[in-house]
Structure 1
């Protein structure tokens, strides 16, 4: 959704016999300011919710697929999606439970995203490499699934890597990426805003909160099946919902509160036909990290949930 200058030249849209929405020129792109959200809340007749929700707004970084990596434009230093991870130390390539190499998804040059990381949540230099298994149905619902995804930080590119040079690149296809900063708010099922969105406005709020981001860093997840913070807290610690539901109400509240420490690090949808990558049977993968781990540049305990 994008709010342009003549936002208040409203177009009336009647969804049913009882509700009319002033949708204006809400067409494409994503909110960039809190003022954009204020206009969206008003457009969908839920402006009374704005002051309750806006304290939870987060900045995200949209990742857009750019040029195909070719021999003519090759640079090992740039961020990329798909292909082979140029400059990665192949000695550290993560493997799954069977010893098979995980599939490379994304490389982020942290220096490139400085202008878009408006809250300074990442380091200013170094590289992040994201991997996932495409050979095993890992949904993140077992502690053993930790072996099926990996995020690795490198201070510098590895010159001795066998895939530092373009000559070693063939398949799958890789692309450079572009970035865009945006704002996002929690979805209606997010535990952070539990109890704030009533059933009578849940459809309207859902329209406002959905980001439709295929690939992105930070912000809130554009989930397919609902909130995942509690999933991360339980499964990363070897628990499950049977155990959780057997606990006392007080203990459940303690765990639920701890689950709010998890935040989105990276989301990856399988909807782009350019990539030779399908995750979660055509669904999406959501990499979560605890706030303190992100501050400390610790990616060892990242947890990934798949949905479809």
Structure 2
């Protein structure tokens, strides 16, 4: 397997910069993930979409309070103990389970900023968790089959907003260049993935890339700077976070907890339109393992 950071630096050095060293400093780690195409065996603590959530004995299933108190659909869970080996930035806890539920009745999830569109729960103690019983009121089309999530660490040259720690060290031209080159690198990688997938689906010989560099880029990402379909996520999060803390809402405090394209036809979404979900946190909330102010944002093309 290639050294992804070294390979990324090689790509950066193909372009002209005012100060290439500062551009290289803007590289940041992230964690990308894939989802099993086939249904997985249901395990209590594995990271996965669908199935039944791992919950404590006194867990109360969340409901949609705005309309008819319908139970929310269980979306996914991530086990931080599984993620930790890939957490180069050391932002996530060593253990614990995060659950995410979505309100898909009456399409409330598309109004992501309303109450109960999404709910997350974090349980640091995983020793006494058991699989919950799915409420009978949840229809079959809102019950995702279990599909395991597979993680690997990667690096990215982030689009705007890039690494805020560099501040004014980056020239305006280099800042614009970072945005442009980041797009080029990402788009080429995603295009190669699509070409290989289409060729295999058609029974044709897929293209042969020079290495596996293209496999380290994905819309499915934890940490880092996610792909924005519409507005820049950090800025949108900053506006929404004001209701929790008016004094400490700067966009550089944004953490991409997890973001991905919700792909219903592949078993990790509730529709076929491919909208993107972004779960966002404040750095201090993550450090304190306080997930109650997690903000969900949905963007669609």
Same fold (TM over 0.5): yes
- 2:49 is matched with which residue? 81
Matched residues in 2 for 1:182 and 1:53: separation? 17
- 1:182 is matched with which residue? 154
Q: 1:69 to 1:111 in 2, by over 3 A?
A: same
Matched residues in 2 for 1:69 and 1:297: separation? 31
Q: 1:276 to 1:263 in 2, by over 3 A?
A: closer
Tell me by how many angstroms 1:81 deviates: 1.4
Tell me by how many angstroms 1:199 deviates: 5.3
User: More helix by proportion, 1 or 2?
Assistant: 2
Tell me by how many angstroms 1:87 deviates: 4.2
- 1:152 is matched with which residue? 121
- 2:211 is matched with which residue? none
- 1:285 is matched with which residue? 277
- Picking from 227, 230, 235, the partner of 2:232 is 227
Residue-by-residue CA offset, 1:237-287 (whole Å, 9 max, x unaligned): 359xxxxxxxxxxx9xx88x7122112110020246221624695310111
Matched residues in 1 for 2:147 and 2:178: separation? 40
Q: Does structure 1 residue 266 correspond to structure 2 residue 227?
A: no
- How does 1:230-269 map onto structure 2 within 5 Å? 230-238=235-243, 258-269=250-261
Q: 1:207 to 1:53 in 2, by over 3 A?
A: same
Tell me by how many angstroms 1:226 deviates: 3.8
Tell me by how many angstroms 1:197 deviates: 4.4
Matched residues in 2 for 1:217 and 1:267: separation? 6
Q: 1:39 to 1:82 in 2, by over 3 A?
A: same
- 2:295 is matched with which residue? 303
Residue-by-residue CA offset, 1:187-243 (whole Å, 9 max, x unaligned): 13558479454657754342135675232221211111241222112223359xxxx
Task: Structure 2: give runs of 5+ residues left out of the alignment.
Answer: 135-139, 188-215
For the 8 Å contact 1:38–1:50, the answer to whether it is kept is no
Tell me by how many angstroms 1:126 deviates: 1.6
Q: 1:32 to 1:276 in 2, by over 3 A?
A: closer
SS in 1 for 2:29: strand
For the 8 Å contact 1:214–1:271, the answer to whether it is kept is no
Matched residues in 2 for 1:132 and 1:160: separation? 18
Matched residues in 2 for 1:94 and 1:301: separation? 16
Range 198-207 or range 227-236, more displaced: 198-207
Matched residues in 2 for 1:262 and 1:232: separation? 7
For the 8 Å contact 1:102–1:132, the answer to whether it is kept is yes
- How does 1:17-28 map onto structure 2 within 5 Å? none
- How does 1:206-217 map onto structure 2 within 5 Å? 206-208=183-185, 212-217=217-222
Matched residues in 1 for 2:26 and 2:178: separation? 18
Q: 1:283 to 1:178 in 2, by over 3 A?
A: same
Matched residues in 2 for 1:272 and 1:176: separation? 15
Matched residues in 1 for 2:186 and 2:131: separation? 45
Aligned length: 254
- 2:137 is matched with which residue? none
Q: Does structure 1 residue 57 correspond to structure 2 residue 21?
A: no
- 2:197 is matched with which residue? none
- 1:275 is matched with which residue? 267
SS in 2 for 1:221: coil
Matched residues in 2 for 1:40 and 1:80: separation? 33
Tell me by how many angstroms 1:58 deviates: 2.6
Q: Does structure 1 residue 119 correspond to structure 2 residue 75?
A: no
